[in-house]
A and B are shown apart, each in its own frame.
Chain A
Amino acid sequence: MPKPPDSRSEDPAKARRRRGRPRVLMANEPRAYREGIAAVIGQLRPAVEIEIVEPTALDASIERFRPDMVICSKATETLKGTVRVWVELYPENGTSSVANIGGRRTEYTEIQLPDLLSIVDKAGELAGTN
């Protein structure tokens, strides 16, 4: 289970990154797939801290959880402005997806699970370099 936000006076995001444990926020629809992808990431990338939220809670959860990566169905302005790595997974129920990795956007005509895991790895690398 995700841990509560760091209460020390030190910048929580910096402290976390030094511990090398990237955070992934899951906010995509529909629910069973959101939970499934989270389960797979948790299984194959056990070092990753994962939080699952409803899409409507995305912006508030970004502020609270300070994720290194977000997977969602609709990228918000808050997301684009604050998170370096995100995936807009099948927006508007289409078959294509968009990934943003440190400002570089990549479109996937049909994204695969290994692509998502690769992006998680890149998010971890970026978090570790900060």
Chain B
Amino acid sequence: MGARILVANELTSYRQTIAMVLRELYPDHEVIEATSEAMDGEVARLDPDLVICSRVTSVVERRVANWVELYPECKPYSTFCEGGVRKTKQDPQLSDLLSLCASLP
């Protein structure tokens, strides 16, 4: 079994899209969808290796080594945190997200 990825970004079709792409490209990873409201609880329950969300929370920051804050408040940038190291990317591409997923154990 590969990594566990929690997909909790807004909006519904976007979340479903990202989850479907990840499941297709990384069948060994476990991809779980959750609403943003349920994200913190799911982080505590599932201990994911990566969280993809629209607004990072203190729970995610504290408990998850890898996370992506994707287009917060619909802004044209995203923050990628990989192993605790943060980088902001302007207008990120899908490939940026996939690269992070590919680097997971």
- Report how many residues on chain A are interfacial, defined by Cβ distance under 8 Å: 21
A interface majority secondary structure:
helix
B11, B74, B96 pick with most chain A CB within 10 angstroms? B11
- C-alpha gap A104/B57 in the complex (Å): 41
Q: Are B91 and A31 in contact (CB under 8 A)?
A: yes
The residues of A that contact B21 with a CB separation of less than 8 Å are 36, 39-40
How close is A99's CB to chain B, nearest CB, in angstroms?
12
- C-alpha gap A115/B13 in the complex (Å): 9
- Report how many residues on chain B are interfacial, defined by Cβ distance under 8 Å: 22
- C-alpha gap A111/B17 in the complex (Å): 12
The segment from A3-11, A59-67, A78-86, A88-96 found at the interface with B is A88-96
Interface residues of chain B, those whose CB is within 8 Å of chain A, are 11-14, 16-18, 20-21, 24, 70-71, 74, 76, 78, 91-97
